[in-house]
């Protein structure tokens, strides 16, 4: 037997709907029978009580004849306080009261009791209404019996009808629901077929969007947006891998060429010079691998946390030591000590990449400075090179972006420097912007003074 969770969505929805429909109809049927029974019983009580009070009024007016004229569906007895039958209607028992002494003793005007029909010679049950007549010192009780057999039959017929009609009604509604659910789920079937075609590569990466503005429409739009982002991510990944392979090939090719040449060199070759060239290419390869690893971790979320190993860094002294490694960099120290929470390695890599770019494109000099900017410290790197056009200032932060590919490769650039700067600045919860230096380029990095 199949478990409910193994059924299709359409079958599960139909099953839940049919169960809910059955429970609802059953509850409604029970309520209907109960309300009808209550209403009919109340009508019987009211009819018997009205008759009893009418007869009591005739007793008080001494206008009652015997046998008591009454509807054939009822029986009437008039008894005294000792339960002795005084007068009856046609068909009523002259000797035995409809109510026993203990029942009559507690009866008041308007009381209605249910007793077995055998007491009045009919099947089923009867309702006996009581009305009080005569003086208070010698009360007489008017008892009117009304059979409930017709009431019971009506309720029984209704119950049988409901029990017969409900299964047919549930089956009919189930068939209608099956068709309605099929029509409602057709867009889902279309989405599934479209997804299978996309997976199989037989169609473009877009799912059919239904015309109705409902949840399925929003689902299709959301899935298409996701597919677009996945396509974009795959394209970026392919481009990243291709660019990375291209960048890695250059130093590897240089190293291979140098080693092949070294195999044919005489013993008198200046090997330290050769190893120095190899180390230069190894350093370049190592930096490139480190850059790729950092950006790959940023892509998979590993680096989406604040900078690690955060320390209180004396920014003035830190930049002074860093600027000393770059000839031609003029550093303007701050007038007072400047401290920021930062990862020293990340900060060194961030500013180092900016200085590398500035020195690579400078004409004569690079300037480095730091100054307060509200709740931030602003580090500024300025060169007097060709600068970057405003339309390209956002694009240069993309990976492997070069405004002049040939010159950048010759100079040893990989096109990853500014992408890494932005990632490291983000990890320090700061901002980086590019602007004109007139001539040249100005880069402003703002780092918060509190963690």
Threshold 0.85, pTM exceeds: no
Q: Characterise 59 by phi-psi region: left (phi > 0), alpha (psi -120 to 50), beta (else).
A: alpha
Q: Does residue 369 or residue 420 have the better pLDDT? A: 369
Within 10 A of 87 (CB to CB), how many other CB atoms are there?
19
Phi–psi pair at 173, nearest 5 degrees: -65, -35
Q: What residue spans define the domains of the chain?
A: 1-203, 215-299, 311-448
pLDDT number for residue 31: 93
Pairing of strands 329-332, 339-342: unpaired
Query: What's the pLDDT band for 406 if we cut at 50, 70, 90?
Result: very low
Pairing of strands 329-332, 366-373: parallel
- The yes-or-no verdict on residue 139 having pLDDT over 80 is yes
Residues in the chain: 451
Of the options 3.30.700, 1.10.3470, 1.10.287, 3.30.960, the CATH number for the domain spanning 215-299:
1.10.287
Q: Which residues pair with 126 in a beta bridge?
A: 115, 147
Q: Does residue 435 or residue 103 have the better pLDDT? A: 435
Could you give the residue ranges of the DSSP H alpha helices within 106-214?
Answer: 149-200
Query: What's the pLDDT band for 32 if we cut at 50, 70, 90?
Result: very high
Place of tokens 């007016």: 61
Contact 120, 98 (CB under 8 A): yes
Percent of the chain topping pLDDT 70: 86
What is the CATH code of the structural domain delimited by 311-448? 3.30.565.10
- The yes-or-no verdict on residue 11 having pLDDT over 90 is no
275-325 per-position pLDDT tens digit? 777 777 777 677 777 767 777 666 655 444 455 578 888 888 999 988 888
Query: Between the CA of residue 308 and those of 303, 343, 351, 426, what are the distances in Å?
Result: 9, 6, 17, 13
- The yes-or-no verdict on residue 47 having pLDDT over 70 is yes
- The yes-or-no verdict on residue 446 having pLDDT over 90 is yes
225-264 per-position pLDDT tens digit? 888 888 877 777 777 677 667 667 767 777 788 777 777 7
Q: Does residue 326 or residue 245 have the better pLDDT? A: 326
CA–CA distance, 43 with 49 (Å, rounded to integer): 10
Same topology between domain 215-299 and domain 311-448:
no
């Amino acid at each position: 037997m199949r478990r409910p969770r193994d059924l299709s969505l359409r079958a599960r929805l139909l099953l839940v709907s049919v169960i809910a429909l059955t429970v609802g109809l059953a509850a409604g049927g029970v309520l209907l029978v109960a309300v009808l029974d209550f209403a009919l019983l109340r009508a019987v009580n009211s009819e018997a009580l009205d008759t009893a009070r009418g007869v009591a009024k005739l007793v008080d007016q001494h206008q009652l004849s015997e046998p008591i004229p009454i509807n054939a569906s009822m029986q009437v007895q008039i008894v005294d306080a000792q339960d002795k039958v005084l007068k009856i209607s046609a068909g009523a028992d002259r000797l035995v009261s409809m109510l026993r002494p203990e029942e009559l003793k507690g009866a008041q005007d308007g009381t209605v009791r249910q007793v077995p029909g055998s007491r009045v010679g009919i099947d089923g049950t009867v309702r006996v209404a009581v009305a009080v007549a005569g003086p208070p010192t010698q009360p007489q009780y008017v008892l009117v019996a009304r059979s409930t057999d017709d009431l019971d039959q009506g309720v029984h017929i209704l119950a049988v009808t409901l029990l017969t009609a409900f299964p047919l009604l549930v089956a009919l509604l189930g068939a209608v629901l099956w068709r309605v659910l099929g029509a409602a789920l057709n867009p889902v079937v279309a989405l599934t077929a479209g997804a299978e075609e996309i997976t199989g590569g037989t169609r473009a990466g877009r799912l059919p969007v239904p015309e109705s503005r409902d949840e399925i429409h929003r689902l299709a739009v959301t899935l298409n947006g996701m597919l677009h982002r996945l396509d974009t991510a795959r394209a970026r990944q392919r481009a990243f891998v291709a660019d990375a392979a291209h960048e890695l090939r250059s130093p590897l090719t240089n190293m291979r060429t140098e080693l092949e040449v070294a195999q044919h060199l005489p013993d008198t070759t200046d090997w330290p010079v050769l190893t120095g060239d190899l180390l230069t290419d190894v350093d370049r390869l190592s930096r490139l691998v480190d850059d790729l690893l950092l950006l790959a971790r940023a892509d998979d979320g590993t680096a989406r946390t604040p900078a690690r190993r955060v320390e209180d860094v004396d920014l003035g002294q830190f930049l002074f030591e860093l600027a000393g490694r770059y000839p031609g960099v003029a550093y303007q120290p701050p007038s007072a000590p400047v401290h920021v929470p930062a990862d020293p390695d990340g900060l060194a890599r961030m500013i180092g990449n900016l200085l590398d770019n500035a020195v690579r494109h400078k004409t004569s000099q690079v300037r480095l400075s730091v100054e307060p900017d509200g709740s931030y410290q602003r580090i500024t790197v300025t060169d007097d090179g060709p600068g970057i056009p405003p339309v390209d200032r956002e694009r240069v932060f993309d990976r492997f972006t070069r405004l002049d590919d040939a010159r950048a490769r010759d100079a040893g650039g990989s096109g990853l420097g500014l992408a890494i700067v932005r990632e490291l600045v983000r990890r320090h919860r700061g901002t980086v912007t590019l602007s004109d230096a007139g001539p040249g380029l100005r880069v402003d990095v703002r780092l918060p003074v509190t963690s």
